[in-house]
Amino acid sequence: MSVAELSVDGTPASPDDLTHVALVNYGAYTSFRVEHGGVRGLDLHLARLEAEAVELFGEPVGDARLRDLIRGAVSGRDACWLRVSLFSPEIGPRTPEWIGPPKVMIAVSPPPPPLADSVRLQVQPYAREAAHLKHVATFGLIRARRAARRAGFDDALFADASGRVSEGSLWNIGFVRGDAVTWPQAPMLAGVAQALLQRGLEGVNLTAAAAPVQAEALGAFDSAFICNSATPACAVSAIDDHVLAIDPALIDRLRTAWASNPVQPI
């Protein structure tokens, strides 16, 4: 893995900043690909950061400041990967009450490859804390993904105690029957890649709706796919012992739907 370039509020990250981030697991982030100097779904990523800032720190960063910091971090690169994180050295286990705009840490690295061409998933009973946030508390999801790998699967698919499917370790999931996509209805992170796909589905003659999906009822679907900012669409070949059809034409349609979203200038 390439070493990322780290900045905080537009200057190189200091040892104090890095020490705080390493020791205090309180914050949130978003991550995305920069291509041709812009970002698909940048409006959604900025809205996510602002909502996270208000909920976790009490005040927004400001759209204009976020754009300035992102432009500075990109530094004329045509393509790269950015992780934009929010944190505050004023907040810790003994001092949780601080309110104010958070610091912005940006990590710049080469664009990562897609997660996979296809994946086998293991259903695990788990739900992320404050699932609507893309927060930095990743212990549970990494533990789940590790357990799935050790059991011979590629990744973990989360479900609640009643078997209702939500999301995966690093991605959202969609289920397909005919020309209809079903997004699971459960507490989860509203993914930007999921939203970009949703915006483009009509253009590839697919429809979509959200509905509860039970892990025991996967036979109602023809296929499934996962998506995140690095992986617009990846086929699911199996969930536990239930085999799903891999439809390359469907994956191509989904990728076309994602790519129909223009690159937004920073």
Q: Would you state the pLDDT for residue 4?
A: 83
Q: Would you state the pLDDT for residue 76?
A: 84
Q: What percent of the chain is helix, strand and coil (3-state, nearest 5)?
A: 30, 35, 35
Segments in the chain below pLDDT 70: 1-2
Q: Would you state the pLDDT for residue 234?
A: 98
The DSSP letter of residue 243 is E
The residue with tokens 């508390």 is 137
Q: Would you state the pLDDT for residue 193?
A: 98
Q: How far is CA 200 from CA 35, 45, 104, in A?
A: 19, 17, 31
Q: What are phi and psi of 247, to 5 degrees?
A: -115, 95
Q: Would you state the pLDDT for residue 10?
A: 97
The residue with tokens 């009450």 is 97
In the three-class reduction of DSSP (H, G, I as helix; E, B as strand; rest coil), residue 143 is classed as helix
Identify which of 29, 18, 20, 44 has the alpha carbon closest to the alpha carbon of residue 98. Answer: 20
> pLDDT tens, 212-265?
999 999 989 999 999 999 999 999 999 999 999 999 999 999 999 999 999 999
Read off the tokens for 48: 């996510």
**pTM beyond 0.85:** yes
CA 59 from centre of chain: 23
Q: Would you state the pLDDT for residue 2?
A: 60
Q: What are phi and psi of 143, to 5 degrees?
A: -60, -40
d(CA 109, CA 91): 27
Delineate the domains of the chain, giving CATH numbers in brackets: 5-109 (3.30.470.10), 118-265 (3.20.10.10)
Q: Would you state the pLDDT for residue 222?
A: 96
CB proximity list for 232: less than 8 A, separation 6 or greater: 114, 193, 196, 197, 254, 255, 258, 259
Would you say 66 and 101 are in contact if contact means Cβ atoms under 8 Å apart? no
Would you say 26 and 136 are in contact if contact means Cβ atoms under 8 Å apart? yes
